[in-house]
Amino acid sequence: MRASALSFVVLVVVGAFLFPRHEAPLAAVPVKDQRVVYVSPDYSVLTMLADGKGRDRITSGASSGGVLAQPLLQEDTHFTWPVWSPDGRRLVVSRFSGLDQNQVAALSLIEPPSREERVLQISRHGLVDRVAEGTFHFPLWSPDGELLALIAPNDGGTALQLSVTDLDRRTVGVATGAPLYFTWSPDSTLIAIHHRERLLFRDSEGELFDTGRPSIRYRVPAISGDSETLAYVADLGDGERLVTRKIATAEERDFTLVPTEAAFAFSPASHDTLAIAIRSTERSAVYGGLTLIDVALGKERIVYDDTVFGFWWSPDGTKIALVGTNSDSFTLVVVDVATGEVSNLASFIPSPEFTTYIQFFDQFGLSQDIWSADSTAITITGLMVVDGERTLTDKAWVVDVTGERQPVSLAEAVLAFFVPAEPRPK
């Protein structure tokens, strides 16, 4: 019996070696099966399929009870800026009413379909009580979904603070004072922090390191998809330029001059391709075009040469959405990265909240995605220009990037984004 059992084990091991089991290839969830989360005009949070069907309410107020755990069913409670975990199974949301008198806002964790909330942070009245106009917090999940980094007012309401929480009530302060921007590495081991003019690293052990590369000519650093390369702006001896740095070796390479302020992001599909926009003038609110840089070869290519308010890579890296302008409205534009073809998809006036999202696109775009997982559709929020006529109320819209179908109006809304959807087997 022992010999037979041993032979069986050997056969299984050899078979596994000769005929290894392959994981089924994965594909992005089709846009028709992906949900959009939106904030209604009464500041409830709801989701709906991208075709306008299957509405589901996440919040609509909260009931009486303790502030740390309560169902969301009471009138006069408002929620905004939902930020979903990477797997799309839970979210944090800013609550800005239904609180104690000295409290301005609270960041709550919700795990649908439950409507219970757990408060992670409370902001109180003070010199600093929000991140931006109409925006009380900036949370960003680690890519593995284990941690949440958060910019919010500190306990005294005197300054903004970056902290990291494991969601089990263990929260660690990282940096205090503004300006303050950050990003996670895709492998969730590092946070790159632009604190005032300093560029810092926070490692997985919680240690902070100063790179010694100060600059005020950008906001958010960028990290490549393989977590090996960091991009920022610095002066290496001949003016402030875009710089890349190998995180493991600190090897640096500089590229285009940045005379004003730049925003940049790596392609999700290429560790060597980076898009950069540079402000037209020192005091300008807009950027003068969009350029792609191959950071391995040092080659640059202009892909859009008009006004840019913000830009966002598609998940598959084949396209870039950007917001431009025409005479009396904003324009939603998509650029094909390979061909350089430019498609004007829609004219619109963004809602006040979506205007804030566009204004801080390089930071807010890390936590809330306007692109569908399959890179075929984009959400925008505001007044749409249809057949030359402007709609009367702000709505959530789903725009087909091919331009072959008319934009779909989902509901009246002040904000809308796609809910993350994990890839499925092909």
User: How deeply is 121 buried, as exposed, middle or buried, from its count of CB atoms within 10 A (0-12, 13-18, 19+)?
Assistant: buried
Rounded to whole angstroms, the Cα distance separating 378 from 370 reads 5
Condensed to tens digits (0 to 9), the pLDDT of residues 296-346 reads 999 999 999 999 999 999 999 999 999 999 878 899 999 999 999 999 999
Output the pLDDT for position 284.
Answer: 86
Residue pLDDT, tens place only, 183-212: 999 999 999 999 999 999 999 999 999 999
Of the candidates 217, 185, 225, the one whose C-alpha atom is nearest the C-alpha of residue 201 is 185
pLDDT in tens, 36-91: 999 999 999 999 999 999 999 998 654 333 334 444 444 568 999 999 999 999 99
pLDDT of residue 74: 47
In this structure, what is the dihedral angle of CA atoms 242, 251, 367, 137, given to the nearest 10 degrees?
-80
Q: Which pLDDT score is estimated for 9?
A: 39
Confidence category of residue 99, pLDDT binned at 50, 70, 90: confident
Structural domains in the chain, CATH included, are 24-425 (2.120.10.30)
Peptide bond into 352 cis (omega under 30): no
Tell me what the mean pLDDT of segment 239-245 comes to: 97
More confident residue, 138 or 6: 138
- Within a 13 Å sphere around the CA of 226, how many CA atoms are in the beta-carbon half? 10
Q: Write down the mean pLDDT value for the chain.
A: 89
Q: Give the whole-angstrom CA distance, residue 87 versus residue 91.
A: 10
Q: What average pLDDT does the segment 33-37 reach?
A: 97
Burial group, residue 408, by CB count within 10 angstroms (0-12, 13-18, 19+): middle
CA distance 409 to 50: 9
Q: Which of 238, 186, 192 is nearest to 211 (CA)?
A: 192
Cβ atoms of 251 and 237 within 8 Å: the answer is: no
Task: Say whether pLDDT at 272 is over 70.
Answer: yes
- For CA atoms 359, 361, 362, 363, the dihedral sign is positive
The pLDDT value given to residue 76:
67
Predicted local distance difference test score (pLDDT) of residue 24: 58
Confidence of residue 100 (pLDDT cuts 50, 70, 90): confident
pLDDT in tens, 369-426: 999 999 999 999 999 987 777 888 999 999 999 888 889 999 999 999 999 998 877 7
